[in-house]
Structures are given as structure tokens and as C-alpha cells.
């Protein structure tokens, strides 16, 4: 992914979002952290489902990027708990192991977008635009 431009909404100081990234893959977590910070966002990281729920409760991020296959607590359980904390906060799923049933359940619970890992930069940019339009 290095060397490509990610095209999504640039934000000014007044529209910066706090984004919680919950993913156990350190490479993807670090990539999202770097790219989102460069776009002007505050990024909060969690590598397990339990950490993600705790950080969602404590930090109240308006946007969450969530993996489904997580240690300690799976992504759908995390999604349900985040929905109980803030039902209006948009959540984008990024996963390498999601099934159609997982996607259907996540969408039924109001997930904003569902991307499978291996996604293109164009798809990621479009998904981020969709998520940020809800903030």
C-alpha cells in the first residue's frame, strides 16, 4: 500500500474525528494509524476485542474500524457492545475471515461498511468517505 494516495475527505482542525481502530494485525493497525493521522484524525488503537470495548467506553470515539477475528472477544460481540455504548456511532468492518452470514449480521446491526482484507486503496478511500459522512 505504500506509494499510493488514499483519496478520502481531508479534514480541517474543526472536523477532525477520533477514530478507534480495533485489529489484531499490527501491520494493518499501524498503517491505518499512520494514514488516518496524516488525514488529521486522532487515532485510538486496540488489538483485542476486550481492549476495543474498553476504549470505546472510555474514549467514546465517533467512528470505529473493526476486525471480526479478534482475540478475547470476536468482532460481532464487540460490535454489539459498541452499539450499546453509542448506537449512532458509525462502524466499518475490515476483515479477512468474514462470511456472508457475518456481513448480514453486521449490516443488520447497523455497520456502515464491510470490507474484506485485501481491499483496494480505492475501496478503502470510498469506505472512509462513507463512514466520515456520518460524523
* pLDDT for the residue 104: 87
Predicted pLDDT at 15: 58
Per-residue pLDDT for the chain (135 aa), expressed as one digit of tens each?
433 344 445 444 445 889 999 999 999 999 899 988 988 899 999 999 999 999 999 999 999 999 999 999 999 999 999 999 998 889 999 888 778 888 888 888 888 888 888 877 678 778 888 788 777
Query: Which residues are CB-neighbours of 109 under 8 A, at least 6 positions away?
Result: 76, 79, 80, 83
- CA angle centred on 48, ends 95 and 10, rounded to 5°: 60
- Domains, the chain, ordered by start: 16-132 (3.40.50.2300)
Amino acid at each position: 500500500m505504500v506509494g499510493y494516495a488514499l483519496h478520502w475527505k481531508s479534514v480541517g482542525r474543526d472536523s477532525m474525528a477520533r477514530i478507534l481502530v480495533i485489529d489484531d494485525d499490527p501491520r494493518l493497525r499501524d498503517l491505518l494509524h499512520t494514514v488516518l493521522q496524516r488525514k488529521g484524525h486522532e487515532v485510538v488503537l486496540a488489538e483485542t476485542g476486550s481492549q476495543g470495548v474498553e476504549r470505546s467506553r472510555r474514549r467514546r470515539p465517533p467512528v470505529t474500524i473493526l476486525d471480526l477475528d479478534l482475540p478475547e472477544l470476536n468482532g460481532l460481540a464487540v460490535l454489539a457492545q459498541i452499539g450499546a455504548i453509542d448506537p449512532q456511532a458509525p462502524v466499518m468492518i475490515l476483515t479477512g475471515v468474514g462470511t456472508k452470514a457475518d456481513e448480514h449480521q453486521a449490516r443488520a446491526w447497523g455497520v456502515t461498511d464491510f470490507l474484506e482484507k485485501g481491499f483496494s486503496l480505492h475501496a478503502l478511500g470510498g469506505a472512509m468517505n462513507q463512514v466520515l459522512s456520518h460524523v
